[in-house]
Structure 1
């Protein structure tokens, strides 16, 4: 795509001889999740690194079962449904020192007890970000070109690029607003560099100079909402981001603008969004809701100017990059090498 390099993580999937006694690695994810995230190469490397013990069930483990599986583990490969590392669990896992998390946000797993024991954890969020960013780019382009509106017009006998939301446009000259410069937001900005679009960024933890590295202009949220043709949300779940996109922010959007949410439903006041969308003034592409799934009678399910998808922006069937990255992190930990994507206690307040 225009010469843009696909990010590659330095995953060797090889292992040098380990001189110490073979450590024990516990895989706490269910058999179903393991099929999604673990490639044969990942299993092979993990089995050469350590004696592997797995969750034998196609379900999450109970707290007692999780503690039993981790009782003599040195490292753990966790992920979706892998179980929370509570004090009760960790009291029975005295050897555990590191968790390779084969999913995005580690918040469902970590506890104060984990940090207090000095247990380290890594995240595969950078791998998930690649899929989410590609999906987001597709939604941005489709929104600018008015793909869904033109489809409705042609299905009803029409043939025009002029839609009730405005004419079909080009990426060249469009203004795209990015809310949040985490792994996904940064990757989306990299992808947008292929186009002659103006990119605005709101992220209180990013500097002007950092934004400029992504050919973006850092602005405050109200300016971004009022100036963007497409607003794409990539902020994490924190106290500060809850319903950050509220009625007043939605009212700032241009007529015919599109709101895209491939991050978390937490960010958006959905009642306010439904009310604003029902005016016919803006369009929305919503991949995440709060709660998930939305209620059967949610207005978002019924409105023609809402594209609603069931949380598919990230990987759905081929998620093996996640397991491979988690196993690579385990290899690095056992070999005494720097971890690639460690999450620290201090990072939790600002990361997804």
Structure 2
């Protein structure tokens, strides 16, 4: 059986996701169809044309929801390989009803986010943000209100044993640190296997030198970091968020940061981007980056390689590594 692989992402994104080598491998797996000169994601009518006779569909950022209208001609569709993180924008009751399998490249994105997070954790442990503030103000080492440090002996609090969270834990393995994890879905056996201390959120906030957020955006996690538990942070602690801005009650966090006793490293906000006059842009104890932790340079081709491997596995009848099922949606990003 020849598989027809429909690619929905527009030209610039398609080229960023698939290297020349990956593209050649994709063409070996089936007949690839796409819109060669498309400059924007397709609407439903264009999707219907692309999905006619397609057995596999590749989606990504900006791809439309694969609902009843878009799926009108997709009788042969068996797999959606999402070349991005969350599948929630593209899945639909129609998709699930037809038994179409779905896989995500969230795990590939997680590697880049975790690497970025490790860099920030090291900088936070050294109090690099504070050191920069002091030297720019004309001071030097003796003028730092909190002494510089390093990673050994530190307590790192990981909120969410997600793909990213687990990769951060793995990257921290060479360092003599204590890793605490809050995740209500993490079993005691899994915590032991990961080599971490399973914790409640309040205890993690109290004990951690550095707190790093890696939970998904769900109703359950909305504003899980708030005025009450921010007050539990020790003086000199740093909170890192490379997950989703909505995890934090931002007005409460701004008030907390204005006291000048803790630091924040934020790659995400709610909304994005924040307004030009948002305090996160001007507070001296905040590092704000433009949601770039996981999908720049090699990160995008890594996503393409992940999707390619999932398609290969599907065609070969092998288990998918990153399949997303309908019942998983309430607790994933």
TM-score, structure 2 length as denominator? 0.96
- CA contact under 8 A between 2:134 and 2:143: conserved in structure 1? no
Is the alpha carbon distance of 1:132 and 1:348 closer, same or farther for their aligned partners in structure 2, counting shifts above 3 Å? Answer: same
- CA contact under 8 A between 2:205 and 2:232: conserved in structure 1? yes
Of residues 309, 315, 319, the one that matches 2:295 is 315
Aligned residue for 1:167, secondary structure, equals coil
Of residues 209, 217, 225, the one that matches 2:205 is 225
The offset of 1:162, in angstroms, is 5.5
The offset of 1:310, in angstroms, is 0.0
Question: Is 1:188 aligned to 2:185, yes or no?
Answer: no
2:162 and 2:79 mapped to 1: Cα distance?
Answer: 24
- CA root-mean-square deviation: 1.2
Of residues 29, 32, 36, the one that matches 1:49 is 29
Gaps of 5+ in 1: 1-19
Is the alpha carbon distance of 1:112 and 1:162 closer, same or farther for their aligned partners in structure 2, counting shifts above 3 Å? Answer: farther
Of residues 38, 47, 64, the one that matches 2:45 is 64
Question: Is 1:259 aligned to 2:246, yes or no?
Answer: no
**1:3 is matched with which residue?**
none
- CA contact under 8 A between 1:77 and 1:327: conserved in structure 2? no
**2:10 is matched with which residue?**
30
Question: Is 1:202 aligned to 2:179, yes or no?
Answer: no
Question: Is 1:141 aligned to 2:122, yes or no?
Answer: yes
Q: Which consecutive aligned stretches of 4+ in structure 1 deviate over 3 angstroms post-superposition? A: none
**1:123 is matched with which residue?**
104
Aligned length: 331
Is the alpha carbon distance of 1:169 and 1:162 closer, same or farther for their aligned partners in structure 2, counting shifts above 3 Å? Answer: farther
The offset of 1:91, in angstroms, is 2.3
Matches within 5 A, 1:1-352: 20=1, 22-56=2-36, 57-160=38-141, 163-164=144-145, 166-318=146-298, 319-352=300-333
Aligned residue for 2:331, secondary structure, equals coil
1:173 and 1:29 mapped to 2: Cα distance?
Answer: 46
The offset of 1:248, in angstroms, is 0.7
**1:10 is matched with which residue?**
none
- CA contact under 8 A between 1:99 and 1:330: conserved in structure 2? no
Gaps of 5+ in 2: none
- CA contact under 8 A between 1:75 and 1:98: conserved in structure 2? yes
1:35 and 1:290 mapped to 2: Cα distance?
Answer: 29
The offset of 1:284, in angstroms, is 0.2
- CA contact under 8 A between 2:202 and 2:232: conserved in structure 1? yes
2:142 and 2:323 mapped to 1: Cα distance?
Answer: 48
**1:7 is matched with which residue?**
none
Is the alpha carbon distance of 1:32 and 1:161 closer, same or farther for their aligned partners in structure 2, counting shifts above 3 Å? Answer: farther
2:55 and 2:113 mapped to 1: Cα distance?
Answer: 32
